[in-house]
Amino acid sequence: MAAKKKSAKKLKVTLMKSMIGRLKNHQASVRGLGLRKIRQEVIVADTPENRGMINTAYYLLSVEEV
């Protein structure tokens, strides 16, 4: 039996607020997602690791399914 590959879900994550004065682990999570500047957008895979980073700094980010 050949297994079919599911198309991996993607999330568009946008940095909406500044990271200045935030907790170090929140800043690290945002950087881990690949965000550096306000209103910068990145597309990441919908994995538990990325969801954890998004949940850590949820108040700085905007998330949409792609």
In a domain, 5, yes or no: no
User: For residue 33, what are the domain limits?
Assistant: 20-65
pLDDT at 5: 61
Asked if residue 12 is part of any domain, the answer here is no
pLDDT value of residue 18: 97
Q: Across the beta sheet with 10-15, what order do the strands follow? A: 41-45, 10-15, 61-65
The residue with tokens 């200045």 is 20
Q: What is the CATH number of the domain that holds 27?
A: 3.30.1390.20
| Tens-level pLDDT at each residue, the chain (66 residues) | 566 566 689 999 999 999 999 999 999 999 999 999 999 999 999 999 999 999 999 999 999 999
CA–CA separation, 21 and 42 (whole Å) = 23
Q: Are strands 41-45 and 61-65 parallel, antiparallel or unpaired?
A: unpaired
Residue 21 region by backbone torsions, left for phi larger than 0, else alpha for psi between -120 and 50, else beta: left
